[in-house]
Amino acid sequence: MTITVQQIQYTTDPSAWQALARALGLERLEDGDDVWSEFAGDGVLAIHRVDSTADERTELTLLADGPEALDRLERELGGAGAVVRRTVLDDVGPMLVVDGPLPMTATVSASADVRAGSPLTVMPIWYGSSTDAQAAVLEAVGLRRRLSSDSGVWVDFTAVGGGAVALHRSDDERLELSFEYGGDLEVLAAQLTEAGHQPRIVDEAYNRTLLVARPDGPDLWVNGAQQDLYGYTRSS
């Protein structure tokens, strides 16, 4: 079973998001249009047009590589205590909707087989007051634990087919669109600047982070790949 992480950005300005995706170095997949388009790196960013700013949001999706994989996902999610329901959507096909403890969807998609070897990793971050149940769900469906903070505030997971998911302990509950970059952030900043954006790089306790304005909402965060493991444990 191959699982790929996809984050979906619902937006009233898909063309601006598509331009930002290209500037970040993501590769546009075939058959996209102004309503729905996909961009591959390590994982997949999907851009979905909506008509109202009230509908703008980010969602987490797990892409499975076949109907049998979707069936297995349903079993594993249920076994991990997730609230799962199955539905069918036009132009999408069978879909699992997970209402909790980690809200997301799962679908069968050819994009699950995309491996672009990109330094840019799709990494949606889920914020919540507790991350234990969410971590159990991600491990149950085959994502691999990578980095965990000794404080219990942060833990992230990678998918075999590409992409990652991070859990961040916080008082509020939300999903944030973000990325991780394994290359030189200065090079990425220059690439974005050449495309007409105005990125800036800030120092964080764990590494450096590139911030760039989004077409909607707060700045997009692109975290540099963490090398300093003080206060963190890397799973083998």
Q: If you write DSSP's letter for every residue of 186-224 in order, what string do you get?
A: HHHHHHHHHTT---EEEE-SSSEEEEE--SSSSPEEEEE
| All domains in the chain, ordered by first residue | 3-109+118-234 (3.10.180.10)
User: Could you read off the pLDDT of 14-32 as tens digits, one per residue?
Assistant: 999 999 999 999 999 987 8
In 3D space, the residue among 95, 71, 93 whose CA is nearest the CA of residue 85 turns out to be 95
Closest among 15, 113, 31, 102 to 64, alpha carbons compared: 113
What pLDDT, in 10s, does the model give residues 35-87? 999 999 999 999 999 999 999 999 999 999 999 999 999 999 999 999 999 99
Determine the angle formed by the axes of helices 132-140 and 67-79, rounding to 10 degrees. Answer: 150
The predicted pLDDT at position 10 comes to 97
Using the predicted structure, report yes or no on whether residue 204 has a pLDDT greater than 90: no
Its pTM surpasses 0.85: yes
Picking from 119, 120, 108, the residue whose alpha carbon sits closest to that of residue 62 is 108
Residue % of the chain over a pLDDT of 90: 85
